[in-house]
Structure 1
Amino acid sequence: MILPCAAVLFDVDGTLVDSTPLVERAAREWAAEYGIDADEFLSDAHGRRTSDRVADFLAPDQVREATARLDALETTGTDGITALPGAVEILADMNGLPHAFVTSMGRAQLAIRTTAAGVPVPPTVVTAEDVPDGKPDPSGYLRAAAHLGVDPADCVVIEDAPAGIAAGRAAGATVLAVATSHRLQALSAAHHTVQNLTHVATISSGLRLT
């Protein structure tokens, strides 16, 4: 199957990089400090900005400090961070297709995790600091498309989480989901789904799914 597009917009954590061990370890330590059930916090944290998920549990005047604390815990190490299957290969062979990263991580976290995983970062990156609202709001994908000078409707968004899929669809893009962090049933809102990026290749006019 060919997905024609003018640009590809990649989510990062869970799509290109697996940092699950680090994220879960940090979240459990943080949750204990704030008296929060770690399993409940983690159940809907993936794919969303840290500050947005923290705000689900704490009073508004606590969110900034608590978010900074969790961010600090997540930057204390890189153990267990790896590139997901096919990620490095597709980024090394984009066939001239413009592409960008749109992540719910902060810029510092992005640098640490992509470096640890050996994932090359493109010139156009939209992080948590760059948008007023995080996924499922489409702001990040709209901003990335504008930076690349393409219509969002001519983009393919590659995501792994329901919040990101919703953001890509709200931006008007075609959404391709990878089943790297969620069961296929949770990704049903995507236009297309593959197991991971080993099933995706680039051609000059778009993506080929195998």
Structure 2
Amino acid sequence: MALFCDAILFDLDGVLIDSDAVIRRRWKRWADDRGIPFEEVEAVNTGRPAVEVIEEVAPHLDPETEIERLGDEMATDAADLEAFDGAKALLGRLPRGRWAIATSGRHRTATSRMAHVGLPEPEVLVTADDVERGKPAPEPYRRAADQLGIDPGRCVVFEDAPAGVESARRAGASVVGVATSAAPDALVAATAVVPQLNAVEIHPEGEGLRVDWPRGDARLESES
């Protein structure tokens, strides 16, 4: 099984970094402090910008005020934070200028987490601070591809959340779903689904890149 592309676009949390415990802890504290059922937050927060989640679950609050406090807590809480197996080695093998990160987190949170777990910063990093509409809108991945100078249709995106898969597909990219935060069935819109990032190998091929995985480790969407 293989996909061919000119560049790789990664989501950050849930794909390169295992931050589930931090995100859950901080959202639960925020919800508890404001008397909002955490279940309402949990139902909509995966893969989406925090400000949009706040606007949805707490329209009576000022989202900019809330996001400043929540963002500070997300950026400084590093307990239980770690890179997924194989993430650092994979990024180290990719040619510079052929990969980017598009995350729903804020810039400070993304860079602090990458530094904490020892991942290199890409030449192109698109965060919630850089877009008007976050995932599932296509803007984050379109912007990342544009900044690399590559057509989104020539990119493969790695995503763990349904909102991110939708964002990538709407941008025109192929998508490999990584089933770390959601069940594989929730990622059915992806071109392929793998259990984790280390199931994938990426190699230069000609002037582009080849994304490979063992046949038994993924579902590849049939070509029409």
Q: TM-score, normalised by structure 2?
A: 0.89
**Higher relative contact order at CA 8 Å, sep ≥6: structure 1 or structure 2?**
1
Single out whichever of 122-131 and 55-64 deviates more from structure 2.
55-64
Cα distance in 2 for partners of 1:61, 1:32 equals 14
1:3 CA drift (Å): 0.7
Cα distance in 1 for partners of 2:92, 2:71 equals 29
Decide which of 180, 205, 211 is 1:207's aligned counterpart.
211
Equivalent position of 1:91 in the other structure: 91
Single out whichever of 66-75 and 192-201 deviates more from structure 2.
66-75
Question: Which SS does the other structure have where 2:62 is aligned?
Answer: helix
Equivalent position of 2:191 in the other structure: 191
1:96 CA drift (Å): 6.0
Cα distance in 2 for partners of 1:127, 1:95 equals 21
Aligned ranges for residues 162-201 of structure 1 at < 5 Å?
162-201=162-201
Question: Which structure 1 residue ranges, 4+ long, deviate > 6 Å from structure 2?
Answer: none
Cα distance in 1 for partners of 2:95, 2:212 equals 12
Single out whichever of 48-57 and 72-81 deviates more from structure 2.
72-81
Question: Which SS does the other structure have where 2:182 is aligned?
Answer: coil
Aligned ranges for residues 7-22 of structure 1 at < 5 Å?
7-22=7-22
Aligned ranges for residues 40-79 of structure 1 at < 5 Å?
40-59=40-59, 62-79=62-79
Identity of aligned residues (%): 36
Equivalent position of 1:141 in the other structure: 141
Equivalent position of 1:28 in the other structure: 28
Alignment-mate amino acid for residue 209 of structure 1:
W
RMSD: 1.4
Question: Which SS does the other structure have where 1:119 is aligned?
Answer: coil
1:39 CA drift (Å): 2.5
Q: TM-score, normalised by structure 1?
A: 0.95
Alignment-mate amino acid for residue 177 of structure 2:
A
Cα distance in 2 for partners of 1:71, 1:137 equals 21
- Aligned residue pairs total 210
Whether the aligned pair in 2 keeps the contact of 1:97 and 1:206 (CA below 8 Å) is no
Whether the aligned pair in 2 keeps the contact of 1:160 and 1:182 (CA below 8 Å) is yes
Question: Which SS does the other structure have where 2:115 is aligned?
Answer: helix
Question: Which SS does the other structure have where 1:85 is aligned?
Answer: coil
Equivalent position of 2:219 in the other structure: none
Cα distance in 2 for partners of 1:171, 1:28 equals 32
Cα distance in 1 for partners of 2:92, 2:21 equals 26
Equivalent position of 2:220 in the other structure: none
Per-residue CA distance 1:125-169 (angstroms, 9 max, x = gap): 101010100000010110111111111101001100000000000
Whether the aligned pair in 1 keeps the contact of 2:40 and 2:57 (CA below 8 Å) is no
1:77 CA drift (Å): 2.2
Equivalent position of 1:108 in the other structure: 108
Q: Cα distance 1:134–1:56, how it changes in 2: closer, same or farther (>3 A)?
A: same
